[in-house]
A and B are shown apart, each in its own frame.
Chain A
Amino acid sequence: MSNSFKIALIVAFAVLVPFIGGACSCFNKMNLSPMRGGMSPDGTGTMTIWMGGVRPTVEDESGNVVTGSYSFLDYHQEGASYDMRVQIIHSNKISVDDVGGVGILQFPDDITGFAAVYDDYMGHSGPLEIQAGLSTVPITSNHALNAEPGHQLVIVRVPPALVPAEGAPELWYENTMTFQINPVRPIQVKAIMAATVPTGGGGYYYLPVCPAVRSFADVPPVEIPETPPTESIPFPRLADLPHPGGPLVYNLDEGSIYALRYFPRLDFNSAAHTEGFGFVNTGTKASTVTFHAYDVNGQSIADSPNWNWPAGGQGAYQAEGLLQLSQPAQGWVEARTSEYDLLGFFLTQWFPWGFLEGMDGAAVFTETMNIGVIPRIQMQSPYTTEVQIVNPGYEGMSVALQKSYATGGNFLGSFPVPARGALVTDLTAYGSFDGALYLESGHPFIATATIRHGNDCVATANAVAFGDRAETLFASHIVLWPGIYSTSINLHNGGNGSDATAEIRPYYANGTPMAAPFNVTVPRSATVTLTDTQLGLPDGASSEGWLEIRSPGKPLAGCITFGDPVRHLYESTLPLQAAGSKNFYYAQVANGDVGGVVYSTGISVVNPSTTTPVNISISVHKSDGTLNGNVVNRTLAPGEKYVRQLSTMEGVGTLENQASGYIHVTAEAPVLSFVLFFDQQFNFMSAVQAQSK
């Protein structure tokens, strides 16, 4: 090769590279532009977008039910995804192979000449099949996805070649759509990814999965400008797309669509104990809710009539009332909500002698898990713990259990759980221990533990999904009133393969350190319990504050328990928080004298920032959604904790007595928070977990 030819090659590369080198190699997905679009003067419009996806995971395929999980990846943010668990009920006994995928786009109705191609720039490219000019496509026999006025729907079918093999990493493709537009102008386009299921009559149902909505009005638009087609255009982050906040069911037999919420425990005995179930509807549409109870063997116990949850409304009812139970019943409950913005909770109530001895609750499950940990098990006499593991799927499963105590863990065995049934055990057959319980299964499950100190008090701890473990955990309230009020924390080190060092940083309510940070070793597979002074609370003095726990490189799970250390009149457990939130709800409030019982609700809000103050607003709502008292606005200094009983919040005014309702907290930056409600005689105390939409 002559030197002249070599120079020619180098010059050719130098000429080419400005056209192909969009950005540096470290952003390889971006060097071909993440999304661009525009119009040429000749009336040709272009829209180009990179998309990545993994093959849907099939969880159940039994009878007339197919359950699978979809995951769409966001090019904006490494690791961010839109995950959607979908259950399809169809008596045609479809198999997962019948489920296809399409993109449904909404364009102005005067646009014509659609064409589309895909290319992964690795040798895989080709045309995409398009169907344009549609005004509606069926979701089910009773629901349809309609084009907004003046618009048309365009279906782009995803070829099987673009779906990666099972277990394979995601495949990324650049999809380019061209169209003819006259007059040339900027337009708005909306897109929904949908699963397709044959109707049996030659057509398809189109089941939206990203975003999982029922109307294009709920989809954020993308604007394609009247500029050259190379213009980068902003695309909504997947995290900003509307999400039903839990699994979604497309019941093609009934033609219905609903979201699922799981209450993991139903144990009704009119003489001794029961559960209460509640929701707050944070959306703008009223929701119809039905409750469906199953026993431990998976047999249906009861189906409730339709219950109405108005927009902005809250309601909490006893299980026996909701489900019209007259006989003792044990199992779990699935709630089906026609709207997606419902946040729920359940309360276990213990009244062995006819009056309430204990009550504690936990959040409703919106997602299942395959690996999890119940962070508190307490079995040393007089404590007992009842564990309930629920299989909401339509196939039987087995779950492996491992007990975790202060110095390590032991495998207990593998246990069957019937389809739609539950495993209920007090674990006494495996030896008493205090600590946590690790759970693992090839099928999705939910689990909860009910911890009782004799008949004195009851506490509830839900299983924490392993994916929710964190390297930084917060307890937004720690208290020590010697002999009256005690705080303890459980830290579980599972899945890390080695001992973890947790750095404990306690703070007073004004943000000053309560003690110098100190380290605690949590052995591998073990659960360490720290109480009062072990958390840094001063010995022998009444004090309160909040806590940060850091374990770099070793994510931990944990919970916090408040209780009466001497008489055990009350006790309450809730999970440690991994991150703050800017907008959250507490789905239950009880405050004032209601029916002769005097309730109090206390709230704690912490600004975890060490540098920046944050403005917060707290509003208390009655069960119909109307405001009770005034909105309280505060500025929290860095590290400050605001803790008050509701009636003593500055500026709240006069609060009407209420046995139900909800609290809404907003903040300009993420804050930590939780709520406790109790009766003045301290017969019970229950924590309420913050929930975000």
Chain B
Amino acid sequence: MWPIVGSIGGQPVYSYGLAVAVALGVCLALAWGRRRAAGLETGDLLNFVLLGIAALLFAPKIWAIVHTMDFGAAAWLGLLQFWRLGELSAGVVAAATALAWAVYAARRRIPLRPVLDAYLLVVLTGLAIQRAGCFLAGCCYGTPTTMPWSVRFPAGSPAGDHFPGQALHPVQLYYATAYLLIAAGLWGLEAWRRRSGRPMPPGLTAGVGLLLAGAAHAGVSAFRADAAAAPIIWVAGLAATAFGALLLGWSIRGARPKLAPAAARRSAGQRRPTRVTGTPKRKSSLEG
């Protein structure tokens, strides 16, 4: 569509890269406003962002070194050329980012579920903007179609080169629309629970969001022209769905009142709660 928006000093300015920069800015602004909900200090928030950027810059190159078994000095030096992106893979970047965040959160003893609850809709908003960049660049394109909303990409773009003159599913916009709808839904759910005085158990928002976003990703990927050749596209969606389901189960289980009778708890070696203050403990009517 519009892969290069202009040039500065003879260097092209890519619409895709610009979309990533805009997504970063929007995400930062939204994340800043929600940092209290996430229970994050400013430094931690910035560290999460920097870890994501580091994963983008370095993980693909490290992956390429391992994948090609090229352990020469030149390959390692290439890691330092941060102004050059390696052979990127969305799956590698996502996996490295998730790993980095998990390790960082564990070291800092930051509970992950509130962070995910607060920031999943932020990330989805950012991904929607990034997909708009894909549309402009003509990458991540769909299969040919006769649908009235199909799009023809110009020659010189990945889509236009692969399917010259053919009308394609605008899957980039499908992705973006799905992510935005899910983000809006999560925001609405959060607002409704807040207004109704029913606080969300930790992980519920993120679980529902990941479940839906993963399923949407996998569903939209059915129209991707390259999905058959790159199964990681499907796997990423299904993995997100599975993780979302786990998170949701964990959240619901954690929020459910205990049903085990006191005798059973005692037999399992558990002691009755002891009163440690002068205020009597209010027992649930369901507790034994």
Interface residues of A (CB under 8 A from B): 3, 6-7, 9-10, 13-32, 34, 40, 76-79, 121-124, 168-169, 228, 230-234
CB distance from A290 to the nearest CB of B (A): 41
A-B contact count (CB 8 A): 157
**Which residues, 44 to 67 on B, are CB-close (under 8 Å) to A?**
46-47, 49-50, 53, 60-61, 64-65
Which 7 pairs across A and B sit closest by C-beta, in order of nearness?
A21-B17, A123-B78, A25-B88, A232-B156, A123-B74, A18-B17, A23-B139
Beyond A23-B16, A27-B139, 4 extra complex contacts between A and B, CB < 8 Å: A17-B20, A28-B86, A122-B70, A123-B73
A123 touching B75, Cβ below 8 Å: yes
Count of B interface residues, CB-CB < 8 Å? 65
Output the nearest chain A residue to B18 by Cβ-Cβ distance. A18
A24 touching B42, Cβ below 8 Å: no
* Chain B residues within an 8 Å CB radius of A78: 226, 229
CA distance A606 to B190 in the complex (A): 59
Q: List 11 A-B contacts (CB under 8 A).
A: A3-B42, A10-B49, A14-B21, A17-B18, A24-B140, A25-B88, A27-B139, A77-B162, A122-B75, A124-B78, A168-B68
* Chain A residues within an 8 Å CB radius of B157: 232
A21 touching B46, Cβ below 8 Å: no
* Chain B residues within an 8 Å CB radius of A79: 229
CA distance A18 to B156 in the complex (A): 18
With A123-B74, A230-B12 as contacts: A25 and B90 at CB distance below 8 Å: yes
A18 touching B21, Cβ below 8 Å: yes
CA distance A510 to B53 in the complex (A): 60
With A26-B139, A30-B139, A30-B158 as contacts: A19 and B16 at CB distance below 8 Å: no
A21 touching B20, Cβ below 8 Å: yes
* Chain B residues within an 8 Å CB radius of A10: 24, 28, 46, 49-50, 53
B43 touching A23, Cβ below 8 Å: no
Stretch at the interface among B3-11, B104-112, B178-186, B264-272: B3-11
Any A CB within 8 A of the CB of B248: no
CB distance from A184 to the nearest CB of B (A): 15
Any A CB within 8 A of the CB of B13: yes
CA distance A228 to B7 in the complex (A): 9
With A19-B13, A24-B133 as contacts: A123 and B140 at CB distance below 8 Å: no
CB distance from B30 to the nearest CB of A (A): 14
Output the nearest chain A residue to B230 by Cβ-Cβ distance. A26
* Chain B residues within an 8 Å CB radius of A76: 161-162
CA distance A266 to B77 in the complex (A): 61
Any A CB within 8 A of the CB of B76: yes
A27 touching B140, Cβ below 8 Å: yes
* Chain B residues within an 8 Å CB radius of A31: 16, 85, 88
Any A CB within 8 A of the CB of B283: no
A23 touching B3, Cβ below 8 Å: yes
CA distance A188 to B75 in the complex (A): 36
* Chain A residues within an 8 Å CB radius of B89: 25-26, 28
CA distance A9 to B233 in the complex (A): 30
A21 touching B77, Cβ below 8 Å: no
With A25-B93, A26-B233, A232-B3 as contacts: A121 and B84 at CB distance below 8 Å: yes
With A18-B13, A25-B90, A77-B162 as contacts: A6 and B139 at CB distance below 8 Å: no
With A21-B14, A169-B68 as contacts: A233 and B7 at CB distance below 8 Å: no
CA distance A79 to B86 in the complex (A): 21
Question: Chain A interface secondary structure, helix, strand, loop or mixed?
Answer: loop
With A23-B139, A169-B68 as contacts: A122 and B3 at CB distance below 8 Å: no
A124 touching B74, Cβ below 8 Å: yes
Contact residue among B21, B156, B230 (Cβ-Cβ distance under 8 Å from A234): B156
Contact residue among B10, B76, B78, B230 (Cβ-Cβ distance under 8 Å from A121): B78
B21 touching A22, Cβ below 8 Å: no
Any A CB within 8 A of the CB of B288: no
A18 touching B28, Cβ below 8 Å: no
* Chain A residues within an 8 Å CB radius of B42: 3
* Chain B residues within an 8 Å CB radius of A22: 3, 12, 14, 16-17, 137
* Chain A residues within an 8 Å CB radius of B93: 25
Output the nearest chain A residue to B53 by Cβ-Cβ distance. A13
* Chain B residues within an 8 Å CB radius of A40: 10
Output the nearest chain A residue to B68 by Cβ-Cβ distance. A169
Interface residues of B (CB under 8 A from A): 3-4, 7-8, 10-14, 16-18, 20-21, 24-25, 28, 42-43, 46-47, 49-50, 53, 60-61, 64-65, 68, 70, 72-79, 81, 83-90, 93, 130, 133-134, 137-140, 155-158, 161-162, 226, 229-230, 233
* Chain B residues within an 8 Å CB radius of A26: 88-90, 139-140, 226, 230, 233
* Chain B residues within an 8 Å CB radius of A17: 17-18, 20-21, 24
CA distance A122 to B68 in the complex (A): 11
CB distance from B164 to the nearest CB of A (A): 9
A233 touching B156, Cβ below 8 Å: yes
CA distance A21 to B22 in the complex (A): 13
A122 touching B64, Cβ below 8 Å: yes
CB distance from B253 to the nearest CB of A (A): 36
* Chain B residues within an 8 Å CB radius of A169: 68
* Chain A residues within an 8 Å CB radius of B28: 10
CA distance A16 to B24 in the complex (A): 12
CB distance from B135 to the nearest CB of A (A): 10
Output the nearest chain A residue to B84 by Cβ-Cβ distance. A121
* Chain B residues within an 8 Å CB radius of A234: 155-156, 161
CA distance A77 to B225 in the complex (A): 11
* Chain B residues within an 8 Å CB radius of A29: 87
* Chain B residues within an 8 Å CB radius of A7: 46
Contact residue among B20, B43, B74 (Cβ-Cβ distance under 8 Å from A6): B43
CB distance from A22 to the nearest CB of B (A): 5
CB distance from A335 to the nearest CB of B (A): 37
* Chain A residues within an 8 Å CB radius of B10: 40, 228
CA distance A629 to B12 in the complex (A): 59
CB distance from B259 to the nearest CB of A (A): 46
B87 touching A23, Cβ below 8 Å: no
Output the nearest chain A residue to B141 by Cβ-Cβ distance. A27
Query: Which of B65, B86, B158 has most chain A Cβ within 10 Å?
Result: B158
B50 touching A6, Cβ below 8 Å: yes
CA distance A105 to B79 in the complex (A): 33
* Chain B residues within an 8 Å CB radius of A77: 162
Output the nearest chain B residue to A4 by Cβ-Cβ distance. B46
A19 touching B78, Cβ below 8 Å: no
CA distance A231 to B155 in the complex (A): 11
A15 touching B140, Cβ below 8 Å: no
CA distance A23 to B68 in the complex (A): 23
With A17-B17, A30-B139, A169-B68 as contacts: A6 and B84 at CB distance below 8 Å: no
CB distance from A489 to the nearest CB of B (A): 28
* Chain A residues within an 8 Å CB radius of B60: 25, 28
CA distance A24 to B14 in the complex (A): 11
CA distance A22 to B7 in the complex (A): 13
CB distance from A81 to the nearest CB of B (A): 14
A24 touching B139, Cβ below 8 Å: yes
CA distance A23 to B17 in the complex (A): 7
CB distance from B60 to the nearest CB of A (A): 8
* Chain A residues within an 8 Å CB radius of B68: 168-169
Contact residue among B11, B43, B53, B83 (Cβ-Cβ distance under 8 Å from A3): B43
CB distance from A168 to the nearest CB of B (A): 8
Output the nearest chain B residue to A7 by Cβ-Cβ distance. B46
* Chain A residues within an 8 Å CB radius of B78: 121-124
Output the nearest chain B residue to A2 by Cβ-Cβ distance. B43
Contact residue among B47, B73, B137 (Cβ-Cβ distance under 8 Å from A24): B137
CA distance A7 to B24 in the complex (A): 12
Output the nearest chain A residue to B156 by Cβ-Cβ distance. A232
Contact residue among A9, A18, A122, A231 (Cβ-Cβ distance under 8 Å from B86): A122
* Chain B residues within an 8 Å CB radius of A9: 50, 53
CA distance A640 to B156 in the complex (A): 38
* Chain B residues within an 8 Å CB radius of A20: 14, 17, 83-85
CA distance A169 to B87 in the complex (A): 15
* Chain B residues within an 8 Å CB radius of A232: 3, 155-157
With A24-B134, A233-B156 as contacts: A19 and B162 at CB distance below 8 Å: no
CA distance A231 to B161 in the complex (A): 14
